Amino acid sequence: MHSKTIYLNGQRVAEDAARISIFDRGFQFGDSVYEVIRCYNGVPFLLDEHLSRLERSLRELSIDLPQPMSEIRDLCVKAAREQGRSPSVLYIQITRGVADRSYSPPSGLVPTFVLYCEDKPVTAERVYAEGISVAVLEDIRWLRCDIKSTSLVASVFQKMSAAAKGADDVLLERAGVGVVESGSGNLFVVKDGCITTAPEGNLILSGTSRALVLQLARGLSIPIKLAVPQTAEIYSADEVFITSTTAEVLPVCRVDSVRIADGTPGPISRRLLRAYRAEVTRETNYHYEE
C-alpha cells in the first residue's frame, strides 16, 4: 500500500496505530458521514464546498462536529501538504461516537474523527478518450441520498451487479421518477446541445463537481434543463457523462447494450472537461500531462 497521512481525532498517527473501537457506531450502524476531496499539487480542490456539505450532512443526522470547522479545514490543508505534490485524495469520516450497541444513541457522545490522505493518480487519458460503459439498475438506496452517509451497502451491491454485467459503473433508476444519478457521481444527458441533469433533492447527492460543471456550462452558454432523465432519453442521447470528485467529467459511451450516438465522447463533455481542468490548474497550479 502507498503511505498515507493519517489523523485520528486530530492527532497524527501511524497506519498501524490508526484504530477505533468495535463499539463505534460508524462501524456497527454506518452511523457516520464522509467526504472525499481530490488534491492536486498538495492542494485540496473545492475544499470549502466539500466541508460545507460535510457540515450539512452532520446537521441532518444530528451528529456533533468533533472540533470547529475552521480547525478541520486547517487539518485538511496540512494533511494534503504533508502527503506531497502527487495527485491524491483526502478522506474524512465523522461518526456519532462509541457506545453500547443500541439503535437509539445516548446523549453526549464524543464523535470519532478520521482523516487521511493517500496518493491517487488522475484517471487515465485513455478512459476519457474511449468513455465508459454503464448498466441501468433499480435504485435500492434509502430516501436520503442527499446525506453523504457511510451506509453504502446498497451502492456496493449495485456496483458489483454492474461489474457482473461487464459494465464499468451503474446508473440508478428510481421507480416512478427516472434515472437519478450514477453509482458514485452525478448524471448528465445531452440532447440537441442542451444538458439535462436531476435537480437537487433527497434522491441525489448534490455533488461539488456537479455544481462546478453547471457553473462552467452557464459560462459557456450551454443550455441546462433540471429534470430527471428517463431511460429512453438516455438511450437516444447525443452524449452522456458523469461528474465526480475523482472522475471529473467522464464520458459514457455505452448504456446497457446501447451505444450512445457514435460511441465516442461528444463535444460538450470534452469542452466541459477542458474547462474543469482549467479551473483545477487555476486553483492549484496543477498541470495535466498532455
Task: State the catalytic residues.
Answer: 148
Compute the half-sphere exposure of residue 220: CA atoms within 13 Å on the CB side of its CA. Answer: 21
CB distance 160 to 205 below 8 Å? no
Pairing mode of beta strands 248-255, 239-244:
antiparallel
Grid-cell match 501511524, residue found: 14
Task: Please name the residues in contact with 82: beta carbons below 8 A apart, sequence gap of 6 or more.
Answer: 5, 117
Rg of the chain (C-alpha set):
19
User: What are the CA-CA distances from residue 121 to residues 15, 36, 106, 124, 289 (Å)?
Assistant: 21, 14, 42, 8, 12
Residue 40 CA, distance from chain mean position: 16
Strand, helix or coil at 230?
coil
**Taking Cα atoms as reference points, which of 284, 269, 285, 279 lies closest to residue 128?**
269
E strands, the chain, where? 4-8, 11-13, 32-40, 43-44, 88-95, 112-119, 132-138, 169-174, 178-182, 186-191, 194-197, 224-226, 239-244, 248-255, 258-259
In whole angstroms, what is the distance from residue 183 CA to residue 188 CA? Answer: 13
